[in-house]
Amino acid sequence: MDERLESILNSVSDDDFTTVARGALGSTSATLTGSPVFSEITEAHYDLRTVGIVKVEGTARTSDGEMPWSSVVKVIDINADPGRFSYWVHPEQEELVYENHLFASDGLQFRPATCYLASNTVPSLNLIWLEDLTGADGAPFSVSQLFEIARNVGEFNGFHHGRPLNLPFEPATDRFYARWKDSPSHSMIGGLTELRDHKSTRTMYRNSAVEATMEIYSLMERLNERVKDHKRSLSFGDCQPGNLFRRDQDTVAIDWASLTLDPIGVDLGVLVGSSTRRGRNGPEVLLHEKQIYESYREGLASQGCNVPADDVRRAFFGQFGEFLTRTGVSPFWTATSREDIPKDISVENIEKHFETPWDEIPELLAGIVDHIPGYVEELNALLE
């Protein structure tokens, strides 16, 4: 743990630790025994305002005796340079979600992590103390788990469709389109044909041509312009598996900084698309993608949300198509020798996400690229 993060946690008062311990234990009279222990949860923080995420463990005395407690605290520096994510990531929204316990009483199986305390006693820093989810099921998820998660996401989108939001902030709109505009695919697509004969490109495109990815890319702008006219609902926004956990049949979501009003189906596109790039089961996810999609539709319908099927499918592609494109242009970085990899690409993070050594990633991605021609055909039909 770096010195700044450790210093921040050491400045937390006993009163705050007591509040968190009481929340974690469900005891209003618990008293601390001993000093809490910190262990940083090492994840890449794409938003530069995130100082760190730390698991905090301690013990407290209750009417049942001395009990262990734990929490995960997210430390956010509101005044830090947000970098390129400022247009769709709003940490002040996340604090308000937790501070006001928003969405916790919706009666849905898609819910925020329980918040024990949201404090800003340190100038310019927000500390959000959440339930410890390190023992829950997390990414990468199995296909059967994705069925359940997709249904829960559909329930969330369907529940909030047409309802008054009554939020203490104004959510952004059409962030899916802004994210497409900021996609790294734009700068990478041109290098695909130049790498056509490279070993890793031939491995990935063993059963198809690079033109399939180029066509998906060319269709995305037309698609997203059309999707902007579709019905919207409150969307989680950053519905990637790293922000989701399964606990007691619930899908527990963290990182509520990207809430948005987006067309219905966008959340599922992020979930499925990013799940193809998390762990080694991307090809299996695509083999069952239609069933995952139907599970999401069932979640919508369970909340009385009946949106035209083609509209939902187009909105789904609004983000899913971006992940397909990004996978298809991946030879632009897999074909580069490790010594020449750009500094903004972390080999370690990519290997960790795919749970695969760098040199074996093209073979893994081939099972995803195999599906791209079929999706080109479907996209063309949806745009007729």
Residue of 198, 230, 195, 192 whose CA lies nearest to 325: 192
Residue of 305, 301, 304, 293 whose CA lies nearest to 266: 293
The predicted structure's pLDDT at residue 86:
64
384 residues of the chain, pLDDT tens digit each: 788 889 999 999 999 999 999 999 999 999 999 899 999 986 666 677 888 999 999 999 999 999 999 999 999 998 887 766 666 788 889 999 999 999 999 999 999 999 999 988 767 899 999 999 999 999 999 999 999 999 999 999 999 999 999 999 999 999 999 989 988 899 889 889 888 888 899 999 999 999 999 999 999 999 999 999 999 999 999 999 999 999 999 999 999 999 999 999 999 999 999 999 999 999 999 999 999 999 999 999 999 999 999 999 999 999 999 999 999 998 877 777 767 677 777 788 888 889 999 889 999 999 999 999 999 999 999 999
The predicted structure's pLDDT at residue 87:
65
The predicted structure's pLDDT at residue 41:
87
CA distance 368 to 67: 47
Predicted TM-score (pTM) of this structure: 0.94
Axis-axis angle for helices 309-328, 289-302 (nearest 10): 140
CA distance 256 to 76: 13
Query: What is the tens place of the pLDDT at every residue in 210-222?
Result: 999 999 999 999 9
The predicted structure's pLDDT at residue 242:
92
For residues 106-138, b (16+ Cβ closer than 10 Å) or e, as one string? Answer: eebbbbbbbbbbbbeeeeebbbbbbbbbeeeeb
Query: What is the tens place of the pLDDT at every residue in 22-58?
Result: 999 999 999 999 899 999 986 666 677 888 999 999 9
Residue of 220, 237, 227 whose CA lies nearest to 185: 220
How far apart, in Å, are the Cα atoms of 19 and each of 12, 54, 72, 252? 11, 17, 14, 22
Residue of 86, 82, 85, 75 whose CA lies nearest to 124: 75
Element (H, E) at 298: helix 289-302
The predicted structure's pLDDT at residue 80:
83
The predicted structure's pLDDT at residue 343:
72
270 CB neighbour count, 10 Å cutoff: 28
In angstroms and rounded to an integer, the radius of gyration of the C-alpha atoms of the chain is: 22
The predicted structure's pLDDT at residue 341:
73
CA distance 123 to 5: 14
CA distance 360 to 354: 10
> DSSP 3-state assignment of 141?
coil
Query: Is there a contact between 204 and 367 (Cβ–Cβ < 8 Å)?
Result: no
Residue with tokens 């734990």: 70
